[in-house]
Structure 1
Amino acid sequence: MSSSEAPIAIKFDHVTKTYKLYENDKQRFLSVFRSNDKRKLVATVNACDDLSFEVKRGEAVAFLGTNGAGKSTTLKMITGVTYPTKGEVTVNGTVSALLELTAGFDMKLTGRENIYLRGHALGLEREEIAELEPKVVEFADLGVYIDQPVRTYSSGMKSRLGFAFAVSSDPEILVVDEALSVGDKQFQKKCFARVREIMEKEDVTVLFVTHTSSAAEEFCTRGIVLDHGSKKFDGSIEDAIAYYEGNY
């Protein structure tokens, strides 16, 4: 099946995500209860601004842009971490995200217990998590620390566990936000190899955010260039990189 004939995996329809910036944390907290009180509102920022695009199932798409371009916000809306202020986001398929790898861990629980915690949070049945567990344990390669409280882990160990969980399932949509620099060089190679393995399955849709053009070209066939939340270019990865490097 050609990409033009493939079903839509992700669609953004005139999506805007607006963040309100307050003078301090106290004013941000009070704004929850005083929605009409804007005296301490410093500014509003559109992290995504009337953004529209479609990604077909099986495509590998890179999002290119400088810091603040809206790349991570776009991915967070796809994963359901945040929601659009205006417009509609459609996602068809199960999503595995390599975003904030250490988010959501319970520091008091062991690594193994956190596997079950994350699995339940994703709506998996206990039998499904039990089948997933040995794959995560093997990939993370934490040794005896897998049964120690996560509060005893280094930041690298937490990232390894988070990455292992994300890539041990069989996602329909894989979201990668520069998360491949995990652990030592040997583990990084293992991460790249697993991502390639997932991408070789033709029905898997991959969204990849990076500041490195070579990495985008290695993994993706299409590129979307973002600037201040707006789409500036959408085309082949070679043309997208040329546009990005020529303008930013």
Structure 2
Amino acid sequence: MTEQTAASVLPSIIVDGVRKTFLLNHAHSFKDTVVSWIRRRKTTTEFHALRGLDIVINEGDSVALLGYNGSGKSTLLKLLSGVMRPDAGEVLTRGRVAGLIEVGAGFHPELSGRENVFLNAAILGMQREEIEARYDDIVAFSEIEEFIDQEVKHYSSGMFMRLAFSVAIHVDVDILLVDEILSVGDAPFRAKCRAKFDELIAAGKTLVIVSHDMEMVRELCTRGVVIRKGELRYDGGIEEAIAAMNEAA
């Protein structure tokens, strides 16, 4: 890479000294609270999900966030999407961000699939004219045309995923965040989703994936970021990152 080319690469995501702590409640009833108070036991403990994390992800990078359950990956993805805010440090993103973080997130259960397409797309920053222009493509990609006018509270998790994914990838995004959502759904639809990821990568979009599917991250990602107990343990090539994750077990 020449100096001029390197200088033209801009960061899409900057995570600077980010910390996030949750309070875990151990008293599940009023009785538990009273007993703990009498015995002078704590009813809450702190869980440090992220401990001063520093990461820079450049425009066009395809990055896998790797680590075992409880490492802080999903917390980081929620901070990147703006669903949560850090307790300390900064999370900066450049451009439009779409997140597939939780099946059905952003969907209203009492509304139909059709109404939720418009609602979810608007949440992701699309204008009504833009949604109307892409509506048929969104529904066709989801493959749930016959259920589109049903209330989504009657949808299966797979139907939720199909519609949520279809909306997100039809938004003109700069950054796409994905958290294990492709574990829901059949093999042909997952293959179609992976092909769409390839299109986004070829178009220079930034992709950040949380997944335990090492085959998928090998296919889609060139870089891996390993997080363990809220701390950065490795940041580099995907094969080396997978090896580092296994060594950290």
With the length of structure 2 as denominator, give the TM-score of the two structures.
Answer: 0.88
**Equivalent residue, structure 2, for 1:13:** 16
Distance 2:159 2:41 in 1: 44
With over 3 angstroms needed to count, the CA separation of the structure-2 counterparts of 1:247 and 1:2, relative to structure 1, is farther
RMSD: 2.1
Q: Deviations over 1:214-241 (max 9, x none)?
A: 3222111111110011001111112212
Distance 1:22 1:122 in 2: 33
Distance 1:246 1:89 in 2: 28
1:237 matched to 2:220? no
1:116 matched to 2:146? no
Amino acid at match of 1:73: T
Query: Which consecutive residues of structure 1, in runs of 5 or more, have no partner in the other structure?
Result: 28-37
Distance 1:197 1:104 in 2: 25
Distance 1:67 1:194 in 2: 27
With over 3 angstroms needed to count, the CA separation of the structure-2 counterparts of 1:192 and 1:179, relative to structure 1, is same
Tell me if the contact between 1:180 and 1:192 (Cα under 8 Å) persists in the aligned partners.
no
Amino acid at match of 2:167: F
**Equivalent residue, structure 1, for 2:25:** 22
Identity of aligned residues (%): 41
With over 3 angstroms needed to count, the CA separation of the structure-2 counterparts of 1:84 and 1:25, relative to structure 1, is farther
Amino acid at match of 1:230: E
Distance 1:40 1:244 in 2: 34
Residue 53 of structure 2: SS of its match in structure 1?
A: strand
Tell me if the contact between 1:62 and 1:222 (Cα under 8 Å) persists in the aligned partners.
yes
Matches within 5 A, 1:183-198: 183-198=185-200
Amino acid at match of 1:61: V
**Equivalent residue, structure 2, for 1:76:** 78
With over 3 angstroms needed to count, the CA separation of the structure-2 counterparts of 1:89 and 1:222, relative to structure 1, is same
Distance 2:218 2:208 in 1: 13
**Equivalent residue, structure 2, for 1:221:** 222
Q: Deviations over 1:24-45 (max 9, x none)?
A: 4678xxxxxxxxxx98542011
**Equivalent residue, structure 1, for 2:210:** 209
Give 1:160 shift.
1.2
Give 1:75 shift.
0.6
Tell me if the contact between 1:20 and 1:41 (Cα under 8 Å) persists in the aligned partners.
no
Tell me if the contact between 1:65 and 1:226 (Cα under 8 Å) persists in the aligned partners.
yes
Residue 174 of structure 1: SS of its match in structure 2?
A: strand
With the length of structure 1 as denominator, give the TM-score of the two structures.
Answer: 0.89
Amino acid at match of 1:13: D
Matches within 5 A, 1:126-137: 126-137=128-139
With over 3 angstroms needed to count, the CA separation of the structure-2 counterparts of 1:123 and 1:39, relative to structure 1, is farther
Matches within 5 A, 1:87-126: 87-126=89-128
